[in-house]
């Protein structure tokens, strides 16, 4: 095989590890896979090499064991890591606080800082750290780089990043808008600039996956984003509320006797589309609507209403709009949501071409009419490639 350069990208979650061996120059994945159910009685590993899928169902005791088994799979079914020319390992980290505005080379100080930021992302940073620690142990001879979900939003204007909260409390407890999904928003907005051949665009990116977020980007710099202190704020998501009156927490605590942990669970895991319709996957929501389910119809209505509201707000924040882009699982695949998100926004200069919107494709594409003042696009996101390229840019 070729002696090309590759980056092993690792996304370590609380009980899972996703990985991809990326060729950052070609922009392709040489291999990818997923370790699931770490610590449970039976684990699951799925390894893909050249379209060939290998599965294992052995117990995976911890993250170290998981990564060790993945390295074995690379050796058994390929691609051979010794020949793959790994120049770096890129780790996704959710919360970089105010400390990281870009990727960072991992050393003990960086590890300690990520650990210190864990209270701001208690579900994510500790899990990300486990991946970094076992990665450094098992692959000690290559540089490890961390890429933060929050980094793209570090430069947000203070007016957009500051909550109207008592300043002392906010300062002491680091309460501000950090955003999330930044790697995706940065990658997609850069793709759009390249496609349209302009670096002065006023853009809105709608990252609509199971988690969902919007960003406003001017000339390649983020000026606002919908996720806040945590990824709970903003758009309606698969299982999260997005924006909700904070007093709902007091109301439920006082009147339903709910604890903080119960409200946390309710808002993060049992709300959003799931709470409204019983399903967090939009494909199922559409199926229910076809069957005449009124709750599902309302759920989709709430979802697209929130999207239109953010598009209008961000157009106002930027004083105009040149490009609006849909990405991630829903954004890339769901023509009904895309149409709903811009319905009635002709006054902003947004005119969708129904045929282009309905066409299915895996390629970046324009879905607005030729005469539309705002270019509307679908651009598949690729966070692994973005992480690999950011890691390379540091070396």
Residue 293 binds to ligand AMP (criterion: CB under 6 A) = no
- Please, which residue, 213 or 280, has the CB nearer to ligand AMP? 280
Binding mask 268-287 for ligand AMP (x = CB under 6 A): ------------xxxx----
193/280 with CB nearer ligand AMP: 280
Tell me the closest approach of the beta carbon of residue 281 to ligand AMP, in angstroms: 4
Interface pick for ligand AMP out of 206, 218, 288, 330 (rule CB under 6 A):
330
List 80, 107, 141, 149, catalytic entry: 149
Give yes or no for residue 334 binding ligand AMP (CB under 6 A). Answer: yes
| Secondary structure string (H, E, C) spanning the chain | CCCCCEEEEEEECCCCEEEEEEECCCCEEEEEEEEECCCCCCCEEEEEECCEEEEECCCCCCHHHHHHHHHHHHHHHCCCCCCCCEEEEEEEECCCCCCCCCCEECCHHHHHHHHHCHHHCCCCHHHHHHHHHHHHHHCCCCCEEEEECCHHHCCCCHHHHCCCCCHHHHHHCCCCCCCCCHHHHHHHHHHHHHHHCCCCCEEEEEEECCCEEEEEEECCEEEEECCCCCCCCCCCCCCCCCCCCCHHHHHHHHHCCCCHHHHHHHHHHCCHHHHHHCCCCHHHHHHHHHCCCHHHHHHHHHHHHHHHHHHHHHHHHHCCCCEEEEEHHHHHHCHHHHHHHHCCHHHHCECECHHHHHCCCCCCEECECCCCCEEEEECCCCHHHHHHHHHHHHC
Closer by beta carbon to ligand AMP, 318 or else 330:
330
Nearest distance, CB of residue 203 and ligand AMP, angstroms? 19
Residue 36 interacting with ligand AMP (CB under 6 A):
no
When asked if residue 333 is in the footprint of ligand AMP (CB under 6 A), the reply is yes
The answer on whether 210 is annotated among ligand-binding residues is yes
Say whether 23 is catalytic: no
Which CB sits closer to ligand AMP, 211 or 228? 211
Min CB(184)–ligand AMP separation in Å: 9
Please pick, from the candidates 209, 275, 278, 340, the single residue that binds ligand AMP as defined by CB under 6 A.
Answer: 209
Query: Among 328, 345, 385, 391, which residue interacts with ligand AMP (rule: CB under 6 A)?
Result: 328
Q: Is 330 annotated as a binding residue?
A: yes
Minimum Å distance from CB 13 to ligand AMP?
Answer: 13
Residue closer to ligand AMP by CB (options 154, 213) is 213
How many residues bind to ligand AMP according to rule CB under 6 A?
12
> Measuring CA to CA, which residue among 62, 207, 61, 178 is closest to residue 127?
62
Interface positions with ligand AMP (CB under 6 A): 209-210, 238, 280-283, 328-330, 333-334
Kindly list the catalytic residues.
149
Where is the binding site for substrate, in residues? 92
Where is the binding site for ATP, in residues? 18, 207-211, 281-283, 329-333
């Amino acid at each position: 095989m070729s002696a090309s350069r590759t980056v092993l990208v690792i996304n370590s979650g609380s009980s899972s590890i996703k990985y991809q061996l990326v060729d950052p120059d070609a922009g392709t994945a040489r291999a990818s896979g997923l370790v699931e159910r770490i610590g449970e009685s039976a684990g699951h590993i799925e390894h893909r090499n050249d379209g060939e899928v290998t599965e294992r169902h052995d117990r995976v005791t911890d993250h170290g064991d998981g990564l060790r088994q993945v390295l074995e799979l690379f050796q058994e079914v390929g691609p051979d890591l010794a020949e793959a020319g790994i120049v770096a390992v890129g780790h996704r980290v959710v919360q970089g606080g105010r400390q990281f505005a870009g990727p960072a080379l991992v050393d003990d100080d960086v590890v300690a800082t990520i650990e210190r930021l864990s209270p701001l992302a208690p579900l994510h940073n500790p899990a990300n750290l486990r991946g970094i620690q076992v990665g450094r142990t098992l692959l000690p001879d290559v540089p490890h780089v961390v890429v933060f979900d929050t980094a793209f939003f570090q430069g947000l204007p203070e007016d957009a990043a500051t909550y109207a909260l008592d300043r002392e409390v906010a300062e002491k407890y680091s309460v501000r808008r950090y955003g999330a999904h930044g790697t995706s928003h940065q990658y997609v907005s850069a793709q759009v600039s390249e496609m349209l051949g302009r670096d002065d665009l006023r853009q809105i990116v709608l990252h609509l996956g199971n988690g969902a977020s919007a960003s406003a980007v001017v000339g390649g710099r983020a000026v606002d984003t919908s996720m806040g202190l945590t990824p709970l704020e903003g758009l309606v998501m698969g299982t999260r509320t997005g924006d909700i009156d904070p007093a709902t927490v007091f109301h439920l605590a006082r009147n339903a006797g709910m604890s903080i942990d119960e409200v946390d669970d309710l808002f993060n895991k049992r709300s959003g589309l799931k709470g409204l319709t019983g399903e967090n996957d939009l494909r199922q929501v559409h199926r229910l609507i076809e069957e005449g389910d009124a709750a599902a119809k309302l759920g989709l209505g709430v979802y697209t209403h929130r999207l239109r509201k953010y598009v209008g707000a961000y157009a106002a924040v930027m004083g105009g709009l040149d490009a609006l882009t849909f990405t991630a699982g829903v954004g890339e695949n769901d023509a009904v949501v895309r149409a709903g998100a811009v319905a009635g926004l002709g006054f902003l200069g947004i005119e969708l071409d129904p045929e282009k919107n309905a066409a299915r494709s895996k390629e970046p594409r324009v879905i607005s009419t030729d005469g539309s003042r705002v270019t509307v696009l679908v651009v598949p996101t690729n966070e692994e490639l973005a992480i690999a390229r950011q890691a390379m840019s540091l070396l």
